[in-house]
């Protein structure tokens, strides 16, 4: 699963989303360009049925396969199952894709141990079947390391700025571990908050940084686990 990518072999990315998919769109636009060479999004998975990101994937050229699995519908149709069982079910869908990398791009569900145990190869996902090697998982978070972990980070940062508690915020791409938003930061960018600007203006500038950073972070990890084999002269 990891190692040098043979010539002509596209590196596979699985993207998990929950919403409109603007960060996903940045990856769609970058795949197989110099920013993200020899790379293809092989699956977009959402935990929300109405997520517009699923439409972005289906309208891509060529169309990207999609999947949907929501927590509450899963629990309702599987009496006795738990949130951990749901996380394992999500991991099973991902593992079957055999990706080189999993990118959480606006995935609004905190993954429990079940997901990472499967993705890391510590737990079987289909009978005795396990992933051959741990699959790296990265997340885009609209805050600096150690600041505003979890949900509503943009709003919380903006409010803290108004109170004079911070001078800027930022964006990071980090590895996903069992502690929320506490994995090793891979890329970090500061984003200024301008005095007097409305939150919408700050949010738009922050999103512009996100769209670049998610591509850079994806390329960075792909080059670590499946570097593109140089073309022979």
pLDDT tens profile 110-124: 888 899 999 999 999
The residues annotated with a catalytic role in the active site are: 141
Chain segment 177-214, per-residue pLDDT in tens: 877 767 899 999 999 999 999 999 999 999 999 999 99
Rounded to whole angstroms, the Cα distance separating 24 from 15 reads: 7
Which tokens is 112 given?
């429990």
Report the alpha-carbon distance of residue 100 to residue 221 in Å, rounded. 9
Closest among 11, 15, 33 to 24, alpha carbons compared: 15
User: Over the chain, what is the mean pLDDT?
Assistant: 92
Contact in structure between 60 and 28 (CB atoms under 8 Å):
yes
Q: Tell me how far apart the alpha carbons of residues 92 and 206 are, in angstroms, rounded to a whole number.
A: 33
pTM for the structure as a whole = 0.92
DSSP summary character for residue 31: B
């Amino acid at each position: 699963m990891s190692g040098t990518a043979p010539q002509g072999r596209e590196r596979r990315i699985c993207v998990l989303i929950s919403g409109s998919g603007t960060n996903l769109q940045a990856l769609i636009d970058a795949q197989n360009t110099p920013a993200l060479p020899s790379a293809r999004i092989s699956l977009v998975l959402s935990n929300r049925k109405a997520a517009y990101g699923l439409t972005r994937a289906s309208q891509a050229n060529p169309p990207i396969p999609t999947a949907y699995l929501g927590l509450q519908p899963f629990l309702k149709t599987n009496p006795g199952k738990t949130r951990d069982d749901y996380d394992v079910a999500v991991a099973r869908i991902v593992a079957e894709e055999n990706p080189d990398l999993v990118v959480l791009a606006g995935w609004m569900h905190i993954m429990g141990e079940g997901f990472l145990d499967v993705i890391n190869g510590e737990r079987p996902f289909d009978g005795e079947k396990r992933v051959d090697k741990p699959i790296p998982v990265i997340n885009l978070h609209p805050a600096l390391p150690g600041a505003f972990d979890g949900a509503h980070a943009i709003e919380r940062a903006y409010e803290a700025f108004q109170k004079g508690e911070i001078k800027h915020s930022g964006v990071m791409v980090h590895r996903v571990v069992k502690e929320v938003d506490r994995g090793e930061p891979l890329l970090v960018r500061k984003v200024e908050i301008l005095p007097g600007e409305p939150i919408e203006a700050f949010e738009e500038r922050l999103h512009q940084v996100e769209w670049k950073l998610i591509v850079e972070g994806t390329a960075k990890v792909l080059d670590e686990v499946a570097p593109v084999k140089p073309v022979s002269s």
